[in-house]
């Protein structure tokens, strides 16, 4: 029985040995595969040099979503940007350049109501234009700013603070006088009035914005008073539906709701420029205080004897001051003494080069042109034109953004208010969208050489590539106003010897002759 049991055990053991070997082999293959995968991951992680750790370079970390970053930094960035624009001339220049080229004196609206495929209704357009011109002077609730200044404040706040807001107020509002016959006003709001620290997960409120399940703002929670008013401020908010609040924000990431300052990438550089200039100014002041030194002569001449010139004991005349005036002669020097003018190496000739290079980077980080920020317009026509053409794309993007987020909503509410007050009437068969058709006139790219620009635009008009109205708009004028003024001039000069319009064919011929003459000149 024992022998049988041993035999059975041996047979069973022999049967299990191949299975164990197979399991061991499979585990070995699995371990090898895992090691190869780990090695591949490690290799993949350091393929890019930017991902390799280094003692001298810190690896960048992701601090979360756009909203989380806004919650961490927006308040401090806003305060820092305001301080820079308040005290730093370069920051102030950057802000002014942005406002001048994006908004200018104010983006205007030229009404162009028309049926689909039809012509512009001139009478209806004139009625809207008259109401718009009247409303332009008092568009906001305080009556302190016209619409051009309101646009500058809104866009300037967006660029500096990261965002700005305005509320639509249409119809009869208690204790509000709209100021014109159009029952429509806007209330401009700074970013401080929407609290960044107001969060309520139960109502899906984050950073003062109440959103639906898709992330679309449905309401804004607004402070009733500005939090910077001081002792009498109360942290009370009111809920305003999102359809009445328009936000103009500098957004960089998807699903980000609140904006960040455009000065964020260049704040440290601006502070460095300020510190460097301050140190150079102090060094120049110290250098200006140092004038000259007297190199003493033989030590034996400084005993207890008297000065042969003044008769004063030398011990009592240890300190001598020479008043430096033009044409002075140092005639009170002792034998062996000489005056050495101190060379302070100031002003530093490299300051302008260094500051100019830093301003170039500031301009790149704030979507402005270097020549406008540095106020340095050196260069040929081609170089200046190239910079202007490249930079104007950035201004056009910001201008379209401002038009979409501010001008179109305001124009829509304005036309609706005109209909509400019966200032204009919707013609039979028209839709409100057809009535609201308009042209938004943004600041246009300036001319570097007016003659060359005019010749180019005239040539495009002759070839049919542009309409005369487009050329007039590109010059910043209203085509209707230009036609009216031309007709008025003809009426005033009728029967007089004032030169009138020339033949269009002769004008084209002379323009082409002038263009050929300019082309023969040497390139700049």
Give the tens place of pLDDT for each residue, 9-23.
677 666 666 666 666
pLDDT class for 316, splitting at 50, 70, 90? very low
Whether 206 and 274 map to the same domain: the answer is no
Whether 157 and 289 map to the same domain: the answer is no
Q: Measure the CA–CA gap between 478 and 417, rounded to whole angstroms.
A: 24
- What's the rounded mean pLDDT across residues 66-94? 92
Whether 252 and 346 map to the same domain: the answer is no
Q: Of 341, 365, 389, which residue constitutes the final position of a domain?
A: 365
Q: Measure the CA–CA gap between 475 and 262, rounded to whole angstroms.
A: 29
Q: For position 504, what pLDDT does the model report?
A: 55
403 occurs within a structural domain:
no
30 occurs within a structural domain:
no
Average confidence score pLDDT of the chain = 84
Whether 248 and 273 map to the same domain: the answer is no
Whether 74 and 120 map to the same domain: the answer is yes
pLDDT at 521 over 60: no
- What's the rounded mean pLDDT across residues 280-307? 72
Q: Measure the CA–CA gap between 410 and 155, rounded to whole angstroms.
A: 14
0.85 exceeded by pTM: no
pLDDT class for 275, splitting at 50, 70, 90? very high
Q: What number of CA atoms fall less than 13 Å from residue 41's CA on the CB side?
A: 6
Give the tens place of pLDDT for each residue, 159-186.
999 999 999 999 999 999 999 999 999 9
Q: Measure the CA–CA gap between 122 and 242, rounded to whole angstroms.
A: 35
Q: Which two tokens stand for residue 165?
A: 């807001």
Give the tens place of pLDDT for each residue, 243-265.
999 999 999 999 999 999 999 99
Whether 197 and 277 map to the same domain: the answer is no
Q: For position 47, what pLDDT does the model report?
A: 65
Q: Measure the CA–CA gap between 359 and 351, rounded to whole angstroms.
A: 12
Give the tens place of pLDDT for each residue, 117-165.
788 888 999 999 999 999 999 999 999 999 999 999 999 999 999 999 9
Overall number of domains in the chain: 3
430 occurs within a structural domain:
no
Q: For position 514, what pLDDT does the model report?
A: 66
Q: DSSP string covering 7-56, please?
A: HHHHHHHHHHHHHHHHHHHHHHHHHHHHHHHHHHHHHHHTSSGGGS--SS
% the chain with pLDDT above 70:
83
What is each CA distance from 495 to 349, 483, 485, 504, in whole angstroms?
Answer: 65, 20, 18, 21
Phi, psi for residue 327 in degrees, rounded to 5 = 80, 10
417 occurs within a structural domain:
no
Whether 237 and 99 map to the same domain: the answer is yes
Alpha helix (H) ranges present in 46-88?
66-87
Alpha helix (H) ranges present in 317-380?
351-365, 370-374
Q: For position 92, what pLDDT does the model report?
A: 95
Q: For position 522, what pLDDT does the model report?
A: 46
Domain residue limits at 247:
66-263
More confident residue, 302 or 228: 228
Q: For position 66, what pLDDT does the model report?
A: 86
Q: For position 306, what pLDDT does the model report?
A: 55
| 157: CB partners within 8 A, 6+ apart | 163, 164, 190, 191, 248
**Strand-pair category, 163-170 with 108-111:** unpaired
Whether 242 and 281 map to the same domain: the answer is no
Q: For position 313, what pLDDT does the model report?
A: 47
337 occurs within a structural domain:
yes
Give the closest residue to 405 by CA, choosing from 65, 67, 103: 103
Crossing angle for the helix pair 147-161 and 89-102, nearest 10 degrees? 130
More confident residue, 310 or 415: 415
Q: Of 237, 263, 289, which residue constitutes the final position of a domain?
A: 263
182 occurs within a structural domain:
yes
Q: Of 349, 365, 381, which residue constitutes the final position of a domain?
A: 365
Give the closest residue to 367 by CA, choosing from 262, 444, 253, 274: 262
Q: For position 193, what pLDDT does the model report?
A: 93
Phi, psi for residue 174 in degrees, rounded to 5 = -55, 135
pLDDT class for 396, splitting at 50, 70, 90? very high
Whether 236 and 277 map to the same domain: the answer is no
Whether 207 and 280 map to the same domain: the answer is no
310 occurs within a structural domain:
no
Whether 220 and 287 map to the same domain: the answer is no
Whether 140 and 237 map to the same domain: the answer is yes
304 occurs within a structural domain:
no
Q: For position 470, what pLDDT does the model report?
A: 84
């Amino acid at each position: 029985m024992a022998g049988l049991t041993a035999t059975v055990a041996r047979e069973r053991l022999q049967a299990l040995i191949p299975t164990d070997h197979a399991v061991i082999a499979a585990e070995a293959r699995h371990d090898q595969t895992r090691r190869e995968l780990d090695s591949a991951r490690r290799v993949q992680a350091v393929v890019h040099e930017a991902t390799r750790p280094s003692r001298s370079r810190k690896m960048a970390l992701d601090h979360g979503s756009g909203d989380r970053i806004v919650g961490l930094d927006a308040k401090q960035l806003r305060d820092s940007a305001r301080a820079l624009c308040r005290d730093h001339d370069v920051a102030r220049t950057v802000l002014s350049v942005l406002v001048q080229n994006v908004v200018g004196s104010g983006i205007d609206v030229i009404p162009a109501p028309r049926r689909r495929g039809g012509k512009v209704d001139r009478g209806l357009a004139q009625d809207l234009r008259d109401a718009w011109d009247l409303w332009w002077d008092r568009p906001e609730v305080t009556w302190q700013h016209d619409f051009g200044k309101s646009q500058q404040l809104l866009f300037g706040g967006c660029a500096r603070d990261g965002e700005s807001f305005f509320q639509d107020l249409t119809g009869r509002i208690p204790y509000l006088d709209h100021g014109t016959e159009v029952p429509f006003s806007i209330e401009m709001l700074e970013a401080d009035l929407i609290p960044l620290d107001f969060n309520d997960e139960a109502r899906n409120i984050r950073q003062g914005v109440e959103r639906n399940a898709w992330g679309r703002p449905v309401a804004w929670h607004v402070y009733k008073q500005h939090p910077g008013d001081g002792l009498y401020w109360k942290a009370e908010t009111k809920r305003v539906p999102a359809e009445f609040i328009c936000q103009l924000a500098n957004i960089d990431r998807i699903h980000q709701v609140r904006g960040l300052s455009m000065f964020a990438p260049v704040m440290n550089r601006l502070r460095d420029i300020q510190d460097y200039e301050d140190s150079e100014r102090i060094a120049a002041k110290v250098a200006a205080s140092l004038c000259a030194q007297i190199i003493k002569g033989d030590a034996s001449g400084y005993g207890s004897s008297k000065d042969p010139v003044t008769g004063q004991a030398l011990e009592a005349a240890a300190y001598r001051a020479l008043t430096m005036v033009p044409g002075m002669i140092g005639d009170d020097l002792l034998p062996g003494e000489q005056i050495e003018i101190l060379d302070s190496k100031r002003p530093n000739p490299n300051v302008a080069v260094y500051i100019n290079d830093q301003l170039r980077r500031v301009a790149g980080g704030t979507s402005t042109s270097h020549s406008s920020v540095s106020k340095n317009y050196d260069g040929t026509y081609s170089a200046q034109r190239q910079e202007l053409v490249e930079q104007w794309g950035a201004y056009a993007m910001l201008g379209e953004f401002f038009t979409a987020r501010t001008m179109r909503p305001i124009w829509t509410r304005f036309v609706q208010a005109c209909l509400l007050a019966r200032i204009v009437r919707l013609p039979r068969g028209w839709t409100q969208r057809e009535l609201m058709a308009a042209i938004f006139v943004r600041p246009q790219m300036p001319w570097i050489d007016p003659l060359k620009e005019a010749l180019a635009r005239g040539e495009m008009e002759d070839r049919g590539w542009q309409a005369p109205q487009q050329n007039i708009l590109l010059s910043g004028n209203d085509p209707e106003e230009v036609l009216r003024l031309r007709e008025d001039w003809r009426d005033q000069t009728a029967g007089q010897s004032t030169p009138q319009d020339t033949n269009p064919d002769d004008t084209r011929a002379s323009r082409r002759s002038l263009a050929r003459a300019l082309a023969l000149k040497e390139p700049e």
